[in-house]
Amino acid sequence: MRKIIELKNITKSFDGEVVLDNISLDIYDNEFITLLGPSGCGKTTTLRIIGGFETPDCGDVIFMGEDIKDVPPYKRNVNTVFQRYALFPHLNVFENVAFSLREKKVPKDEIKRKVTEMLSLVALKGFEKRSVTSLSGGQQQRVAIARALVNQPKVLLLDEPLAALDLKLRKDMQVELKNIQKATGITFVFVTHDQEEALSMSDTVVVMSEGRIQQIGTPVDIYNEPTNAFVADFIGESNILDGVMLEDRKVAFAGHVFDCVDAGFAKREPVDVVVRPEDVDIVPEDKGQLQGVVTSVTFLGVHYEIIVDIKGFKWMIQTTDFCDVDEKIGLYIEPDAIHIMKKSEYSGMFGDYSTYSDEMEEIGEVEIGELAEYEEQEAAPAESETEK
Ligand SMILES: Nc1ncnc2c1ncn2[C@@H]1O[C@H](COP(=O)(O)OP(=O)(O)OP(=O)(O)O)[C@@H](O)[C@H]1O
Ligand SMILES: [Mg+2]
């Protein structure tokens, strides 16, 4: 795949406040890439730097191999759909889309051909003569997209284009946008703070926090292998626990030693452990690796969401099996459902799933029962040969 845009070590401050802190990102031809992160993390600023509306303090913006730092927005082969897409209210649908072509003195018949093609792409054929003020939010949004696409940019920047729409319309537009991207082959750089939207639409997701990129990957990678507690918490629901890597493929957390699939950590390295709510099996109490008491059960249609108290840590579990409140259950976690992350500045910020359990801290110290057994075994000479 060909690189279209390279951001290299971009830093940007406003009023002495660092807003982008050494951002590097490659964007490829034909890619649907999404910048995802909480409000204020620097998504729009990144987009504005790509579009040429903002100049980085340092770092390079490379467009198809050329440094474009000094190229003004209108000369970049990039178009932007802003959140407030500002259609021209006095012009009809056709003229809104035709506007930039008229400015460029494109011949009339070519304008007609291009605008008609774009309107059919966004499913607004027959709307040519309608006043834009008479359109629904979703229809206006599609006019804005047609207007941005009619110049055939290499790259389309979309800053939370669906934020103003209600849920149903938003879902429909997600599908349509994805289809438009596929049909045109234009690279889309999409901004959202909605993780579900990012996961469902993107080829690549860039998770940002506080002006820094936390992780770049496919939606599946980001979900299954979050690099740190911030990403694990921001993408989907998770139980995040303090753990200790005992050796390759053995980790202790919640007072139990688990087999896992991760290796390459230092012996006794403290780690963050992520277990997704849908990856925990409920088993009879005596068959569980962990034992706990159900403290709440919520029916959510497809599954139940239950909260299980295990030594003070409230686990969130999604299951299709019914459990009763106060029931004692066992939990079983397969090795590949345990995701190990390095400790980071975000460790401990999200750990406890619930906001209603605050007596967490000491659980992380994993010093209970089974760990002691592990230590005894480890002390035996036969075991120590397997150590590196
Ligand atoms: N022109 C500016 N002058 C001063 N501060 C700015 C300017 N533009 C952005 N900022 C600040 O930079 C930080 C990042 O802003 P940015 O708009 O990039 O965030 P964002 O990730 O797009 O957030 P949101 O999801 O709320 O749109 C914020 O703290 C914002 O207040
Ligand atoms: Mg923004």
The C-alpha torsion from 16 through 344 and 214 to 334, rounded to 10°, is -160
Cβ of 193 below 6 Å from ligand 1 = yes
Q: Taking all residues of the chain, what is their mean pLDDT, rounded to a whole number?
A: 88
The whole-number average pLDDT for the span 364-368 is 45
Rounded Cα–Cα distance for residues 228 and 220 (Å): 15
pTM: 0.84
Of the segments 81-90, 135-144, 253-262, which one has the largest average pLDDT value? 253-262
Rounded Cα–Cα distance for residues 198 and 221 (Å): 13
Cβ of 43 below 6 Å from ligand 1 = yes
Q: Tokens for 169?
A: 């319309």
Query: For residue 195, how far is its CA from the centre of ligand 1 (angstroms)?
Result: 19
Query: For residue 139, how far is its CA from the centre of ligand 1 (angstroms)?
Result: 28
Secondary structure element (H or E) that encloses residue 223, with its range: helix 219-224
Pick the ligand that lies closest to the CA of residue 23.
1
Ligand 1 atom closest to residue 42's alpha carbon, by position in its atom list: 18
Query: For residue 53, how far is its CA from the centre of ligand 1 (angstroms)?
Result: 13
pLDDT at 135 over 80: yes
pLDDT at 268 over 80: yes
The whole-number average pLDDT for the span 4-14 is 97
Return the half-sphere exposure (C-beta side, CA atoms, 13 A cut-off) of residue 200: 16
Rounded Cα–Cα distance for residues 16 and 14 (Å): 5
> Is 84:140 a contact under the CB 8 Å cutoff?
no
Q: Which strands form 32-36's sheet, in the order they lie side by side?
A: 78-81, 155-159, 187-192, 32-36, 204-209, 212-217
Cβ of 44 below 6 Å from ligand 1 = yes
Nearest 5°: CA angle at 164, between 155 and 162? 30
Q: E strands along 261-374, which residues?
A: 269-275, 280-283, 290-299, 304-310, 313-319, 328-333, 339-342
Closest residue by Cα to atom 1, ligand 1, is 14
Rounded Cα–Cα distance for residues 385 and 241 (Å): 30
Residue 109, helix vs strand vs coil: helix
DSSP calls for 131-146: BGGGS-HHHHHHHHHH
pLDDT at 10: 97
Query: Regarding beta strands 58-63 and 313-319, do their DSSP bridges make them parallel or antiparallel, or are they unpaired?
Result: unpaired
The whole-number average pLDDT for the span 310-319 is 92
> Which of 20, 23, 35, 44 gets mutated to test ligand 1 (max ligand atoms within 8 A of its CB)?
44
Alpha helices (runs of H) in 12-107, residue ranges in sequence order: 43-51, 93-103
Of the segments 18-27, 141-150, 235-244, 300-309, which one has the largest average pLDDT value? 18-27
Cβ of 48 below 6 Å from ligand 1 = no
Closest residue by Cα to atom 25, ligand 1, is 39
User: What's the pLDDT tens digit per position in 204-229?
Assistant: 999 999 999 999 999 999 998 999 99
Cβ of 19 below 6 Å from ligand 1 = yes
Question: Hey, what domains does the chain have and what are their CATH numbers?
Answer: 3-224 (3.40.50.300), 238-384 (2.40.50.140)
Ligand 1 atom closest to residue 43's alpha carbon, by position in its atom list: 21
- Helix pair 93-103, 108-121: axis angle to 10 deg: 130
Closest residue by Cα to atom 31, ligand 1, is 40
Q: Which of 79, 117, 85 is nearest to 100 (CA)?
A: 79
